[in-house]
Structure 1
Amino acid sequence: MDKGPGDEVSSGTVNQFGSFDMEATRVGEDSSIQRMIRLVQSADARKAKIVGVADRWATWIVVIALATAVLTWFFTGEPMRAVTILVVFCPCALVLATPTAIMAAIGNATKHGFLVREGDALERLSAVKKLTFDKTGTLTYGTPQVVSAVSFTKEYGEDEIFELAAAAESRSEHPLGKAVVRSLKEQKKKEVMPADEFEMIPGRGVKSVVKGKKILAGTPELLSENGILMEEWHRREAEIYLNQGCTVIYLSEGNIPAGFLALSDTIRKEAGEVIERIKEIGSEPVLLTGDHKSAAMHIAGQLGIMEIHAECLPEDKLNWVNTYEEEKKRVCMIGDGINDAPALKRAFVGIAMGGIGSDIAVEAADIALVSDDIKEIPHLLALSKKMMSTIHYNLFFSMFLNFTAIILAVTGILNPVVGALVHNAGSLAVIINSAFLLKWSAK
């Protein structure tokens, strides 16, 4: 956003170019960044912690094993049977069932670019019903690009409008000006024409002379202040792109409107496939963004996201996550910015973009996507569910083996040596089954 004299700026934002004098109106605990930190802390205090089921079961199994061994010795008078019970009923396989699967799944996630910061994050992720996405930097690249060039006159084609605008913006420090120059080089594979008499007008745009022609590039106010009036159909043409959430840079040559460029934060090429795969896995994608409703709806429409919440402040994102949690809908929040940090912390699972993400967002999240490659998110979601099914199988197998072995030990069929072999075989089977997660891949 462009800021001018009298506008408010929040602590934690970044000035892209130029310099300005700032008066602090709120300091210390009242500053924006401190309020954000308090939101993160309050969200953390309300986050549930999961206790491993296997650990609780193992405690009772030890008590049951000791009691059964004593009773068997008392009623049969054979200490060997009691010793066999203690050997086969030691809950090693049960205790190994959960951590081996979790560590194997974490190893798998690491190979796919995820840094799992919380040990039980994958366990929680398997129960998620809604995946809430921030838009900018998560579903989009987070950098504006020229998506269309429109000419108002037969004298210039669309490519020529693009080239004139890039030449006029060639010395600009403004992010949009840099985006125009970068887009020409990347999309058209052309070099920028030289420009003379460059002048930047803060909050308005730029003036330049390109090939002897006076070029203005910027806002409608820049053109009108220089006596260049656009017709109604010019504004209607631009309105089409503005309704899609684009930013428009108007262009004039001499004293006539020449056309405009529409810039937009483009969707990641893999985003559509990611959303479809998430739906197939059984989770519901939600768009939770601070952008205007028109931009949010345009992006959501392209991706097939039905639930949209636009113009969200950090507090609003946090409140939406709270609402879902109160409705018993487990939420995974995926974001990258400082404004996502409270929601990342409060969500049942938080995933932050590790490359472009802010430090506070990564710190608040349970999982960091180091490569920023969102196409791996469906794999992580499916992996968490596979991990839980592996854990459940391990638990069932270990419990079945233990109780079968105890029955055989009580009846005298198993001796301590065979019992030890059965016990170790059970532990080995659980470890091998968990190890398959290391190379597991969702089909």
Structure 2
Amino acid sequence: MIRFLESLSSWGGVKRDVVFLILSGLALAVSLIDPALFPIHPAWAAILLCGVPILLEAVIGLVTAFDIKADVLVSIALIASVAIGEIFAAGEVAFIMQLGGLLEELTVARARAGIERLVRLTPRTARRLTEAGEEIISADAVRKGDRLRVLPGETVPVDGFILAGQTSINQAVMTGESLPVDKGPGDEVSSGTVNQFGSFDMEAVRVGEDSSIQRYIRLVQSADAGKAKIVGLADRWATWIVVIALSAALLTWLITGEIIRAVTILVVFCPCALVLATPTAIMAAIGNATRHGFLVREGDALERLSSVTQVTFDKTGTLTQGTPAVTAVCSLDPARTWQEVYRLAAGAEARSEHPLGRAVAACWREEHPGEPLPGSEAFQMLPGRGVQARVDGREVLAGSPALLAERGIPQPPELATRAVPWLEQGCTLICLAADGAAAGFLALADQVRPQAAETIRGVKAAGVTPVLLTGDHENAAHTIARALDIPVYQANCRPEDKLDWIDRSQQAGHPVCMVGDGINDAPALKKALVGVAMGGVGSDIAVDAADIALVNDDLRELPHLLRLSRRMMTTIKYNLTFSMALNFAAILLAITGILNPVVGALVHNAGSVLVIVNSARLLGFRQRGT
């Protein structure tokens, strides 16, 4: 038997607790039949397996920090029950308390690997240019003023500015922008961002711990330092419960002279139902949330979510699809239709590696199913500018207005006037020239998710204010906010800007729930009272930093989650009120001698069952009309 218990103790905590509870439950069930059939009362199994850990935890807490928790009163009740021979009562109390402890353990936060993932993003090496040529050095060895070279596909090792070369930089790590940004001499580049196409030379400005990626890692590490963890109410009130229980038991013993009444008071005063009130409701609510596509990673996340007054949304990949699409095609040549401009652009971009180029080709294919892309020859990428190719025998340039200016192609006045409405909506333009003359332009923009508008309406209906925080420029942010009727927005947000906005809001007494998907959202997801990550399209780092992950990316379920969290808190309050009322009623009956320890244990066991049943109703919760 001893070897068996030792082998169980070597298991992981949750598995061991489950086995102990099963064995204890069986022992209590058997003891209800006829304990006299056994040489030792079966309830001793529950006392040893479930009660001894409670006793040890109570003693350690008292000795090391004089920390009075609910387990102190439970320990007193266990010892008193055993002392007067009420073995079943002692075993039953130990079983219920250990069950509540297991449920709480199952709802605690999981270990997160977000910081480790971020550290892996940190560049390891750099190419330093010297008089002797190019050398590979550790990124930590780069010093301010060093001249570095970054090739296509490599990560920028430190912060600095470009000295020579044209390229496109993927800045999603730092800004969340869905599209790479074209860079040239004099433009700044940040560590951790990825060089996509052209090689360039740069001068190091901020290195080591001062670089952007290192500052970002420190933001993520410290962002949740001030996020309060909710303490169990049974433990929060434990000191008063212990004082009241001991006082009532002592007075009853002194007045009546019957120690069994005093022990009964200690047994019925054990906060079993109180301990179960919160974790059972949380577990049921988590089960409900799981059915609606949410993975709740933090045990008290729903409890915190019930108090938020603002929901801040990232734009790219959260409210939008995160991929550009062609929204307009305009011809600037009377001899060409917009369909011909579109066809030439799709042919020129057919072999492009740039996200904008791929978007043009993909949209053309989608709008012309079964029709092959126009053939192209002599294709050439022009990093930071665009592409050139021969399509249907015409020399085609597709890219930025600067590309046309460099090639000496005059831009008609109507280009600026006709492009203004699209630029004001935050669109990106691809200008097209054919055979040395401006032919037209395409406007591309990130597309709003189909369910985004419904989500924003649902959030407002739940009494919460939606807010847009995005790294995109003012026009794009304003367009999305207006389209979705979001009253508050902020554009050009770096990770620290989102962090500061959330911190100011929460300091002002407006708890925030942050919804995001990108690596750049990780600090904000941690800083917010509750972080919700888009689990399907979101980065692993964002999911690791969040309290809740939306697995299927269906934003329409977010209002349900807000309402569920509030219903859960209402259920917890009902549970607490009922359990306390039951305890005080049982105390009065114990004082008068109506209840003995065994019956008292059964009474508050029934109370625990009713608490569990009430919590289980959360599994089927669904707000009417949602």
Which band: TM-score by shorter chain?
over 0.9
SS at match of 1:115: strand
Q: Residue in 1 aligned with 2:297?
A: 117
- How far apart, CA to CA, are the structure 2 residues paired with 1:432 and 1:156? 72
TM superposition score normalised by structure 2: 0.67
State the match for 1:60 in structure 2: 240
Instruction: Assess, with a 3 A threshold, how the Cα gap between structure 1 residues 108 and 20 changes in structure 2: closer, same or farther.
Output: farther
Match of 1:366 in 2: 547
Residue of 164, 167, 183 corresponding to 1:3: 183
Equivalent residue, structure 2, for 1:163: 343
Alignment partner of 1:191 is 2:372: yes
Structure-1 residue corresponding to 2:35:
none
- Tell whether the 8 Å contact from 2:327 to 2:444 is kept in structure 1 after alignment: yes
The yes-or-no answer on 1:252 pairing with 2:252 is no
Q: Distance in 2 between matches of 1:422 and 1:159?
A: 80
* Distance in 2 of aligned mates of 1:159 and 1:323: 50
Letter in 2 for 1:404: A
| 1:42-57 matched pairs, under 5 angstroms | 42-57=222-237
Q: Which residue of 2 aligns with 1:397?
A: 578
**CA RMSD of superposed structures (Å):** 2.1
Distance in 2, Cα, partners of 1:54 & 1:419: 19
CA distance, structure 2, for counterparts of residue 249 and residue 57 of structure 1: 65
Q: Give the aligned residue type for 1:325.
A: Q
Instruction: With the length of structure 1 as denominator, give the TM-score of the two structures.
Output: 0.93
C-alpha distance in 1 between matches for 2:515 and 2:406: 43
Q: Does the 8 A contact of 2:314 with 2:469 survive in 1? A: yes
Residue 167 (structure 1) shift: 0.7
Contact 2:332 2:412 in 1 (8 A): no
* Aligned residue in 2 for 1:235: 416
Question: Within 5 A, what are the aligned runs for 1:142-291?
Answer: 142-189=322-369, 190-291=371-472
Q: Find the aligned partners of 1:50 and 1:6 in 2 and give their Cα distance.
A: 50
Contact 1:54 1:98 in 2 (8 A): no
By relative contact order (CA 8 Å, sep 6+), the higher-ranking structure is 1
| Equivalent residue in structure 2 for 1:129, among 304, 309, 312 | 309
Equivalent position of 1:33 in the other structure: 213
Q: Does 1:350 find its partner at 2:531? A: yes
Contact 1:217/1:249, CA 8 A, preserved across alignment: yes
**2:514 maps to 1:333:** yes
Identity %: 65
Query: Displacement of 1:271 after TM fit?
Result: 0.6
- Cα distance in structure 1, aligned partners of 2:366 and 2:318: 22
Unaligned runs of 5+ in 1: none
Rounded Cα–Cα distance in structure 1 between residues aligned with 2:311 and 2:458? 12
Deviation at 1:155, TM superposition (A): 3.8
Question: Aligned with 1:150: secondary structure?
Answer: strand
**Which of residues 273, 279, 290 in structure 2 aligns to 1:99?**
279
Shift of the alpha carbon at 1:23?
5.0
Cα separation, 2, equivalents of 1:225 and 1:12: 31
Q: Distance in 1 between matches of 2:448 and 2:249?
A: 65
Secondary structure of the corresponding residue to residue 438 of structure 2: strand
Asked if structure 2 preserves the Cα contact closer than 8 Å seen for 1:58 and 1:94, the reply is: no
SS of 2:183's equivalent?
coil
Q: Which moved more, 1:20-29 or 1:88-97?
A: 20-29
Task: Give 5+ residue unaligned stretches, structure 2.
Answer: 1-180
Distance in 1 (CA, whole Å) between partners of 2:354 and 2:495 is 26
Change over 3 Å in CA distance of 1:34–1:102 after alignment to 2? same
Amino acid in structure 2 at the alignment position of 1:161: V
Taking the aligned partners of 2:547 and 2:582, their CA distance within structure 1 comes to 35
Distance 1:187 1:121 in 2: 44
* SS of equivalent to 2:578: helix
- Counterpart residue identity of residue 406, structure 2: E
8 Å CA contact retained: 1:123, 1:388:
yes
The structural deviation recorded for 1:19 is: 4.2
Q: Does the C-alpha gap of structure 1 residues 54 and 149 become closer, same or farther in structure 2, counting only changes over 3 Å?
A: farther
Choose from 494, 498, 505 the match for 1:313: 494
Given candidates 267, 285, 292, the residue that maps to 1:87 is 267
Q: Structure 2: how far apart are the matches of 1:284 and 1:347?
A: 15
